[in-house]
Amino acid sequence: MHLIETRDLSFTYPGGIKALNRINFIAPRNKRIAIIGPNGAGKSTLFKHFNGILKPTTGEVLIKGEPVTKENLKEVRKLIGLVFQNADDQIFSPTVEQDVAFGPINLGLDERTVAHRVNEALRLLGIEELRSRVPHHLSGGEKKRVAIAGILAMEPEVLVLDEPNAGLDPRSMRDLAEFIRSLTREYGMTVIFSTHDLSLVSELAEYVYLMHRGEFIGEGTVEELFEREDLLTSVRLDMPALPKLFGSLRRHGIDVPMAYTFDDAVRALLKAFGRDR
Ligand SMILES: Nc1ncnc2c1ncn2[C@@H]1O[C@H](COP(=O)(O)OP(=O)(O)OP(=O)(O)O)[C@@H](O)[C@H]1O
Ligand SMILES: [Mg+2]
């Protein structure tokens, strides 16, 4: 049984915009899954179906094999933590600390457990020093981390991050990638994220869905999907520099292995120069 599965999920917004068309999605346990696609593809709309914010027009969303209903909605929200694309939609308490505590308090946890979870979430996101700040006055990247901490403090099994890297500086971006990796490796979580940044995808994703105009038009591992450069560029997504470079070298008959990540590239070059041991 999958944690999240959609079957022929379609959704039309009131007013008639058809945002999702027959989406079949599976989230296997303990994987990092990326959903990529240009603006307006339907990524955020899809994510809002994972925890019952939106209901399918047709088709179904199954969480651990069960459709989302009024009765199990609370349980579903505990299981699946969704961090919105825009942190302002999520942050509203007078201090960061209170904001991060909001979810755990709502789960009915006792004071000590709440305090422990808040501390742990602030530590994991590296924002302990923001504890007493007014969320409204934080920078975009800081707000983003507060929003993630608030959801993480509820200890969901699945963390859904809608464009977690938008607006982050390069160093914060690397921290974020390392953080997401640690969630699956050390905490056994499942992480689903959307992005336009294919270098984040090549560094992180174990499975990728490519979305365009409400449909999945490709899926597979990074290797499988990045082989289809035409498909990616046809929906205005840019191949990251490394796979582009190594693909091009290979097409010129240079005997190097393909490289998707920085580490791959170093290994490939060392091998090509006979320095691999
Ligand atoms: N509340 C709404 N009412 C009507 N149409 C909407 C609403 N929200 C989104 N849409 C439309 O649904 C489609 C999918 O939007 P969605 O926000 O899911 O895309 P996205 O892939 O998340 O895009 P982005 O990369 O810009 O975040 C778009 O055509 C959008 O205009
Ligand atoms: Mg979006």
d(CA 124, CA 149): 8
Is there a single domain that holds both residue 147 and residue 48? yes
CATH classification of the domain holding 24: 3.40.50.300
Sites in the chain below the pLDDT cut of 50: none
- Residue 277 is predicted with a pLDDT of 66
Is there a single domain that holds both residue 39 and residue 164? yes
Q: Is the CB of 13 under 6 A from ligand 1?
A: yes
- Residue 221 is predicted with a pLDDT of 95
Is there a single domain that holds both residue 156 and residue 121? yes
Phi, psi dihedrals of residue 149, rounded to the nearest 5°: -60, -40
Is there a single domain that holds both residue 178 and residue 53? yes
- Residue 166 is predicted with a pLDDT of 87
Ligand 1 atom closest to the CA of 211, numbered from 1 = 21
Is there a single domain that holds both residue 35 and residue 84? yes
Nearest CA to ligand 1 atom 31: 40
248 is in which domain, residue-wise?
A: 240-277
Q: Is the CB of 243 under 6 A from ligand 1?
A: no
Q: Is the CB of 195 under 6 A from ligand 1?
A: no
Q: Which ligand is nearest to the CA of 48?
A: 1
- Residue 227 is predicted with a pLDDT of 87
Query: How many angstroms separate the alpha carbon of residue 162 from the centre of ligand 2?
Result: 7
Is there a single domain that holds both residue 153 and residue 216? yes
* Mutation test residue for ligand 1: of 20, 39, 212, the one with most atoms within 8 Å of CB: 39
Q: How many domains does the chain have?
A: 2
- Residue 198 is predicted with a pLDDT of 92
Is there a single domain that holds both residue 61 and residue 114? yes
Q: Around Cβ 255, how many Cβ atoms within 10 Å?
A: 8
Q: 0.85 cut: is pTM over it? A: yes
Is there a single domain that holds both residue 157 and residue 246? no
SS3 per residue for the chain = CCCEEEEEEEEECCCCCEEEEEEEEEECCCCEEEEECCCCCCHHHHHHHHCCCCCCCEEEEEECCEECCCCCHHHHHHHEEEECCCHHHCCCCCCHHHHHHHHHHHCCCCHHHHHHHHHHHHHHCCCHHHCCCCHHHCCHHHHHHHHHHHHHCCCCCEEEEECCCCCCCHHHHHHHHHHHHHHHHCCCCEEEEEECCHHHHHHHCCEEEEEECCEEEEEECHHHHHCCHHHHHHCCCCCCHHHHHHHHHHHCCCCCCCCCCHHHHHHHHHHHCCCCC
Is there a single domain that holds both residue 209 and residue 270? no
Ligand 1 atom closest to the CA of 163, numbered from 1 = 27
Q: Is the CB of 85 under 6 A from ligand 1?
A: yes
Q: Is the CB of 42 under 6 A from ligand 1?
A: yes
Is there a single domain that holds both residue 34 and residue 155? yes
- Residue 169 is predicted with a pLDDT of 87
Is there a single domain that holds both residue 247 and residue 228? no
Q: Tell me, what amino acid is at 173? A: M
Is there a single domain that holds both residue 261 and residue 131? no
